[in-house]
Chain A
Amino acid sequence: MADDHHGPTVRIYLAVFASLMFLTALTVWVAFQDLGMFNDVVALGIACTKATIVILFFMHVKYASRLTWLLAGAGILFLLILFAFAMADYVSRGWLGMPASHYLQ
């Protein structure tokens, strides 16, 4: 378990911090630009980038064992399963053109 001692240095922490701040500013700025539907995409993209940075460096996953990667990955994978399969229902309602599929009110 030598990885504890090869954790990130203070310099890396500061760099990570700076990029997080930059991305926060960016996401606020972008929100006020009219990009049509891309506003959402960009906002989520930035949020994911920030989260990845935090996970990799602040949470040391970059320096951790394969098992930690696996665990973090499993959590995210099953989250996506939840999203994807639930959305699958909502998106495909109405493909058959039947009223049952329409939302009301």
Chain B
Amino acid sequence: MQTDFPLFPDQASSFALQVDALYFGILALCVFFALLVVILVVIFAIKYQRKSDDEVPRQIAGHLGLEIFWTAIPAVLALGVFVWATVLYFHLITPPPNAMEMYVVGKQWMWKLQHPEGKKEINELHVPLGESVRLTMTSEDVLHSFYIPAFRVKKDVVPGRYTNLWFKATQVGSYHLFCAEFCGTEHSRMIGTVHVLEPQDYEAWLTGGTANEPIEVAGERLFEQYACHTCHKMDGTGRGPSLAGLFGKTVALEGGGTALVDEAYIRESILNPSAKVMAGYKPIMPTFKGQISEEGIIQLIAYIKSLKVPELTSME
């Protein structure tokens, strides 16, 4: 996949080119200023070498115009770079709406990854070429950082919280996956490989090997195992609200305020139900903290996401 002595990383995602363009842009700017200063001081050293021991050069106090000039020019250029880099940043963090969802749990010292179809991997990630993939990530212990140099993407993985990252692979091949945030003894071995496959190969890979149950099926099983369904009935007749079609909605909370139902909100509802109570309900839901693993929660989330509203009736 690489020559023996590479000096530049692979460009294997849709933003690699844009990031590299920014890199070379700033590089040009920096080389310009560095050369400017270096050439000037070298010329001065040659031209104004001290001729005699009691030579006293003309004393120049300063020059206001010059000062303004060399304050303003770098400031303007720097602001230009800022705009460029920030626009790119927004692009880098905003996934397209149709992106495939995958889940990542980091723990000392491995990456646990899961596909929407339920296939699980450790330290390996298979993704289809040309598809946008959005990762939802969390950590079981300390900070980690999910880093694929060839894709120019990186994001810290934080315990107690979900972070996201997305990319679109543009080149078939295998690439490094690193943990970039120091996380203890085997930090440098918390590495893996990202395999970019042609879509049909990806399909084949998905279906090959062990039969997998889709992630939301696993979630459904947990939903029953933990007796969630006793309160959350599909038709809304249970003691808890129906969860169908809930994902992505904004719900009203007891005591005023609203909340957007996203992954983090569901996670909170499971681990600390009384933190945000849906309007019209009593805070009777027990906490499942310490009973369901991070992976289990992710499966439950996927299940709740998959629930469609049976027949359109607006929810209170």
Contact = CB atoms under 8 A, between A and B. Distances in A.
Interface residues of A, number: 9
A94 to B, nearest CB: 8
A102 B275 contact: no
A79 to B, nearest CB: 27
B163 interface: yes
Contacts of B94: 96
Contact of A99 (B93, B160, B263, B289): B263
A8 B271 CA distance: 58
Contact of B164 (A98, A103, A104): A98
A99 B93 CA distance: 12
A103 B260 contact: no
B136 A104 contact: no
B260 A105 contact: no
Given A98-B164, A99-B164, A104 B260 contact: no
Given A99-B162, A99-B164, A100-B163, A105 B263 contact: no
A75 interface: no
Contacts of A99: 136, 162, 164, 262-265
A105 B264 CA distance: 9
A100 B164 contact: yes
A63 B161 CA distance: 52
A103 B271 CA distance: 12
A97 B260 contact: yes
Nearest to A101: B264
Contact of B162 (A96, A97, A102): A102
B34 to A, nearest CB: 31
Given A98-B164, A99-B164, A104 B262 contact: no
Interface size class of B (residues with CB under 8 A): 10 to 19
Contacts of A100: 161-164
Contact of A105 (B93, B136, B160, B164): B160
Nearest to A93: B161
Contacts of A103: 161, 264, 268
A102 B161 CA distance: 7
Contacts of A97: 260
A34 B268 CA distance: 30
B160 A102 contact: no
Contacts of A98: 93, 164
B275 A105 contact: yes
A68 B265 CA distance: 50
Nearest to B136: A99
A105 B161 CA distance: 9
B262 A102 contact: yes
Contacts of B264: 99, 102-104
Interface string B199-220: 0000000000000000000000
Nearest to B165: A100
Interface in A21-49: none
Nearest to A98: B164
B18 interface: no
Nearest to A94: B260
Given A99-B136, A105-B275, A105-B289, 17 more contacts: A96-B93, A97-B260, A98-B93, A99-B162, A99-B164, A99-B264, A99-B265, A100-B163, A102-B264, A102-B265, A103-B264, A104-B160, A104-B161, A104-B271, A104-B272, A105-B160, A105-B268
6 closest cross-chain pairs (CB), A and B: A102-B264, A99-B262, A99-B264, A100-B163, A99-B263, A99-B162
8 contacts: A98-B93, A99-B164, A100-B161, A100-B164, A102-B265, A103-B264, A105-B271, A105-B272
